[in-house]
Amino acid sequence: AARWARVTAIMKDFEEKCGTSIENLKQVADAMNLEMHNGLASDSGDATKLKMLISYVDNLPTGNEKGLFYALDLGGTNFRVLRVQLGGKGGGIVNQEFAEVSIPSDLMVGTSEALFDFIAAELAKFVDQEGEDFQLPPGRQRELGFTFSFPVMQSSIASGNLIRWTKGFSIDNTVGQDIVAELTRAMERRGVDMRVSALVNDTVGTLARGRYSNRDVVAAVILGTGTNAAYVEHAHAIPKLDGLLPKSGEMVINMEWGGFRSLHHPLTEYDHALDAESLNPGEQIFEKMISGMYLGEIVRRVLCRMAEEASIFGDTIPPKLEVPFILRTPDMSAMHHDTSSDLKVVDNKLKNILEIPDTSLEIREVVVELCNIVATRGARLAAAGIMGILMKLQRDTINDGEKQMTVVALDGGLYEHYTEFRKCLQNTLKELLGEEVSQSIVFEHSKDGSGIGAALLAASHSRYL
């Protein structure tokens, strides 16, 4: 009984510290909005501030893009190579093919050359296997949109230096380097004849993909291994753009919101420990509370505490439970969605992943509740972030009965597959906006948008136009 009281106490304490009242979320949204203004005013070296990076995308796809274009999507656990045949005005996407490869984990923490050689080799394979369905007009070089989902200080649409790695990557000799130059050199070493015509963040690609089929798309959010957002800003509202005013009057901004840190959502001791032991301590705090790379790991850490202090899994701590990142977010989501009366899925996951046999139903219920607390906090904070963007765009209120629709394109494995997370995100935004305004805000799933969007941007920045 004393043990059970300890379990309840740990749970209650954790739940309280993960609390996200509406008042709290409104403060987070206000802080996001404020940080957006600050980040647009000037670049600061502070890793806890919003970078608000200029993407050099000042025209989004119109639907008139035409021809065969390639994309390479590097961002988290997998990387993809795509070819997309665009039909021109009214034609849409005529044909598309992709190959997906998981990135060997040693390459994520090795050298720049090894990583880019691996990518170039996959690209070479992909090109070699091209069938008759995809034809490049004679004399034309292949053109590639490169989706690179890490903070990059761009100097043009097709160049930019890596600011820092995030998520599971940490390769010292890439930081500060021009990512396009790195890829181009690797392609030359490998004999791949391709030109990078656009370097884009995955959020920017997703925004481009969304806009291609829906004119009302103004922002994009990624909820995958990491999390980030991009949106369309008025050029005159970007002081740091000084002088470089684009003709369109608009500029897509890559917020790098994963690096956001608001004083309005204090971290729990589990978050502090996760951060301290991560590859990038002190950085990407918003991302560490929201995204797929971390949610399961937070649950694992709380379970560890319960095993230590309340012996929920017996007298010793199961060794597997002490392995960082062993409990992945897809497994957490499977447990969270377990609807069987005896929580069979939870039982199986505990057995197969953590090698914990024979748990009681009460303990399995504790596990589900922990998943719920962690996913709820993440989803509600993400909703507050979106609210911050809507405030910045002044789309968080109804302007004189005007019926302007606002569409947010979303993508990423967490958003796509974690139903409870997605539902909570949608409900929370509704709660924040109120019934009336929320009718004008639409979420659209832009499936695989980041890669296709990069191909679209390669098309609109083609040298053959």
- Nearer Cβ to Mg ion, position 331 or 448? 448
Residue 444 · residue 210 · CB < 8 Å: yes
Query: Is 81 in a helix, a strand, or coil?
Result: strand
Strand order in the sheet with 142-148: 93-102, 78-87, 66-74, 142-148, 194-200
C-alpha of 91 from chain center: 30
- Residue 56 interface partner, choices ligand ADP, Mg ion, none, CB cut-off 5-8 Å depending on type: none
What are the residues facing 340 on neighbouring strands? Answer: none
Residue 103: which residues within 8 A CB-CB, separation 6 or more?
74, 77, 78, 79, 115, 118
- Nearer Cβ to ligand ADP, position 126 or 148? 148
| Interface with ligand ADP: number of residues (CB under 6 A) | 16
- Nearer Cβ to ligand ADP, position 275 or 396? 275
Among 417, 427, 442, 443, binds ligand ADP (CB under 6 A): 417
- Nearer Cβ to Mg ion, position 80 or 305? 80
Using CB under 6 A as the binding rule, whether residue 337 contacts ligand ADP is answered as no
- Residue 292 interface partner, choices ligand ADP, Mg ion, none, CB cut-off 5-8 Å depending on type: ligand ADP
392 is catalytic: no
What are the residues facing 217 on neighbouring strands? Answer: 407
Using CB under 6 A as the binding rule, whether residue 413 contacts ligand ADP is answered as yes
Residue 203: which residues within 8 A CB-CB, separation 6 or more?
149, 220, 221, 222, 228, 229, 230, 254, 255, 450
φ/ψ bin of 274: left (φ > 0), alpha (ψ from -120 to 50), beta (otherwise): alpha
| Half-sphere exposure (Cβ direction) of 56: Cα atoms closer than 13 Å | 18
Give the type of residue at 171.
I
> Helix H segments across 53-92?
none
Cβ neighbours around 244 below 10 Å, total: 12
202 is catalytic: yes
Residue 42: which residues within 8 A CB-CB, separation 6 or more?
239, 240
- Nearer Cβ to ligand ADP, position 65 or 448? 448
Please give the Cα distance from 193 to 211 (Å, whole number).
Answer: 30
To ligand ADP, the closest distance from the beta carbon of 151 in angstroms equals: 15
**Could you write out the DSSP letters of every residue in 288-334?**
HHHSTTTHHHHHHHHHHHHHHHH-TT-SS--GGGGSTT-S-HHHHHH
Using CB under 6 A as the binding rule, whether residue 112 contacts ligand ADP is answered as no
To ligand ADP, the closest distance from the beta carbon of 409 in angstroms equals: 13
Please give the Cα distance from 374 to 356 (Å, whole number).
Answer: 22
- Nearer Cβ to Mg ion, position 67 or 224? 224
CB under 6 A: which stretch of 16-24, 74-82, 261-269, 307-315 binds ligand ADP?
74-82
Please give the Cα distance from 97 to 70 (Å, whole number).
Answer: 10
- Residue 320 interface partner, choices ligand ADP, Mg ion, none, CB cut-off 5-8 Å depending on type: none
Among 292, 318, 378, 449, binds ligand ADP (CB under 6 A): 292
- Residue 417 interface partner, choices ligand ADP, Mg ion, none, CB cut-off 5-8 Å depending on type: ligand ADP
To ligand ADP, the closest distance from the beta carbon of 359 in angstroms equals: 21
Query: Is 15 in a helix, a strand, or coil?
Result: helix
Degrees, nearest 5: CA angle 133-137-139: 135
Using CB under 6 A as the binding rule, whether residue 224 contacts ligand ADP is answered as yes
Catalytic residue among 51, 167, 288, 349: 167
Using CB under 6 A as the binding rule, whether residue 201 contacts ligand ADP is answered as no
To ligand ADP, the closest distance from the beta carbon of 2 in angstroms equals: 35
Using CB under 5 A as the binding rule, whether residue 413 contacts Mg ion is answered as no
Please give the Cα distance from 412 to 73 (Å, whole number).
Answer: 12
Residues of span 241-280 touching ligand ADP by CB under 6 A: none
- Nearer Cβ to ligand ADP, position 160 or 296? 296
Site string for Mg ion, 103-132 (x = CB under 5 A): ------------------------------
- Nearer Cβ to ligand ADP, position 231 or 418? 418
Using CB under 5 A as the binding rule, whether residue 292 contacts Mg ion is answered as no
To ligand ADP, the closest distance from the beta carbon of 133 in angstroms equals: 26
H or E segment to which residue 376 belongs: helix 361-392
Locus of tokens 């589990």: 270
To ligand ADP, the closest distance from the beta carbon of 202 in angstroms equals: 6
Catalytic residue among 58, 73, 178, 202: 202
CB under 6 A: which stretch of 72-80, 238-246, 254-262, 362-370 binds ligand ADP?
72-80
Site residues for Mg ion per CB under 5 A: 75, 202, 224
Return the active site residues: 167, 202
Site residues for ligand ADP per CB under 6 A: 75-78, 224-225, 292-293, 329-330, 333, 412-414, 417-418
